[in-house]
């Protein structure tokens, strides 16, 4: 696997390459099997499979959340090698944001609900960094997880609205044997919190419960619910367990 430390190193190495066979999986590292499913698909469908690891500061509203984000670069590198990834890019802030965050991409409708309601600048940071990474790599296929369905939806809209020559591929959520959506943040849960976290998806799938009833139940178990809502044919939840913010969503069955 080629490891590119920074944007300049990547641009120098990729010059003249065939962009039509390029696939990209943008990540923030601390990789797990959820990322693995996107990466496997990317490796299978492309002659050049690119992964980026970058904890993007512009999408974090809370500096503690950014500071606490898990870092396991050496393990991540071994994992990516085992999956047959061809290129890993490790961008640096100064290169990725040559004018700091004075130029950006924003959206004014779907980004203002759910995860964007209380974290008002979150998707502005996400869309901006994703556009930079797609433009930098010129990838023709880019893989996103439906665990972050709102992100997947917004990125798909951005690519369509700006006529970007790429396709966004949405992948189903990978879960543990109890149905808990895999997340880098799960590592920060205590054993007791993990037991509770695993109950969240069970409630979310229970069609006999309203979103209000789900929120009430979660709060009574010690979660601090940010939202529980139905939208776009899906049911969404975000809730804190201690300092850890968990999100999940499921398709609604008629």
Binding segment for ligand AMP among 34-42, 76-84, 110-118, 127-135 (CB under 6 A)? 34-42
Phi then psi dihedrals of residue 86, to 5 deg: -90, -35
Q: How far apart are CA 232 and CA 235, in angstroms?
A: 8
Query: What is the total count of residues that contact ligand AMP (CB under 6 A)?
Result: 17
254 CB-near residues (< 8 Å, 6+ apart): none
Task: Find how far residue 137's CA is from the centre of its chain.
Answer: 18
Q: Can you tell me which of 14, 182, 197, 214 binds ligand AMP, judged by CB under 6 A?
A: 182
70 CB-near residues (< 8 Å, 6+ apart): 29, 30, 184, 185, 187, 188
CA triple 152-174-83, angle to 5 deg? 95
Interaction of residue 248 with ligand AMP, rule CB under 6 A: no
Least Å distance, CB 15 to ligand AMP, is 27
Whether 78 is catalytic = no
Q: Which is nearer to ligand AMP, 12 or 66 (CB)?
A: 66
Least Å distance, CB 163 to ligand AMP, is 22
Integer CA distances (angstroms), 212 to 20, 163, 216, 227, 248, in order: 47, 39, 6, 9, 16
Binding segment for ligand AMP among 61-69, 90-98, 179-187, 198-206 (CB under 6 A)? 179-187
**Among 35, 78, 122, 178, which one carries the catalytic annotation?**
35
- Among positions 57-76, residues that touch ligand AMP (CB under 6 A) are none
Tokens encoding 125:
């940071």
Q: From residue 138 to residue 157, what is the string marking binding to ligand AMP with x (rule CB under 6 A)?
A: ------xx-xx---------
Interaction of residue 125 with ligand AMP, rule CB under 6 A: no
Binding segment for ligand AMP among 33-41, 80-88, 113-121, 191-199 (CB under 6 A)? 33-41
Least Å distance, CB 156 to ligand AMP, is 12
Q: Which is nearer to ligand AMP, 37 or 58 (CB)?
A: 37
Tokens encoding 42:
């990317």
Interaction of residue 183 with ligand AMP, rule CB under 6 A: yes
Strands 98-101 and 141-145, sheet pairing: unpaired
State whether residue 219 is helix, strand or coil.
Answer: helix
Burial 129-152 (b: 16+ CB within 10 A, else e): bbbbbbebbbbbbbbbbbbbbbbb
What residues act catalytically? 35
Residues that bind ligand AMP (CB under 6 A): 27-28, 34-35, 37-38, 144-145, 147-148, 171, 173-174, 181-184
């Amino acid at each position: 696997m080629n490891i590119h430390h920074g944007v300049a190193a990547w641009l120098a190495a990729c010059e003249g390459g065939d962009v039509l066979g390029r696939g990209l999986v943008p990540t923030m590292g601390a990789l797990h099997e959820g990322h693995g499913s996107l990466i496997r698909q990317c490796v299978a469908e492309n002659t050049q499979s690119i992964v980026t690891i970058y904890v993007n500061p512009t999408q974090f509203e809370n500096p503690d959340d950014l500071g606490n984000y898990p870092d396991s670069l050496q393990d991540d590198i071994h994992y990516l090698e085992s999956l047959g990834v061809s290129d890993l890019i490790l961008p640096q802030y100064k290169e990725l944001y040559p004018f700091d965050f004075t130029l950006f991409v924003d959206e004014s409708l779907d980004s203002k609900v759910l995860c964007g309601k209380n974290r008002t600048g979150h998707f502005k940071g996400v869309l901006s960094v994703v556009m930079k990474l797609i433009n930098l790599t010129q990838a023709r296929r880019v893989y996103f997880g439906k665990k972050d369905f709102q992100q997947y939806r917004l990125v798909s809209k951005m690519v369509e609205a700006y006529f970007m020559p790429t396709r966004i591929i949405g992948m189903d959520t990978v879960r543990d044997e109890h149905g808990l959506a895999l997340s880098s943040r799960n590592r920060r849960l205590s054993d007791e919190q993990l037991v509770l976290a695993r109950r969240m998806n069970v409630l979310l799938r229970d069609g006999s419960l309203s979103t209000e009833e789900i929120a009430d139940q979660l709060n009574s178990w010690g979660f601090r619910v940010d939202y529980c809502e139905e939208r776009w044919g899906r049911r969404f939840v975000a809730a804190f367990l201690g300092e850890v913010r968990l999100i999940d969503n499921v398709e609604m069955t008629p």
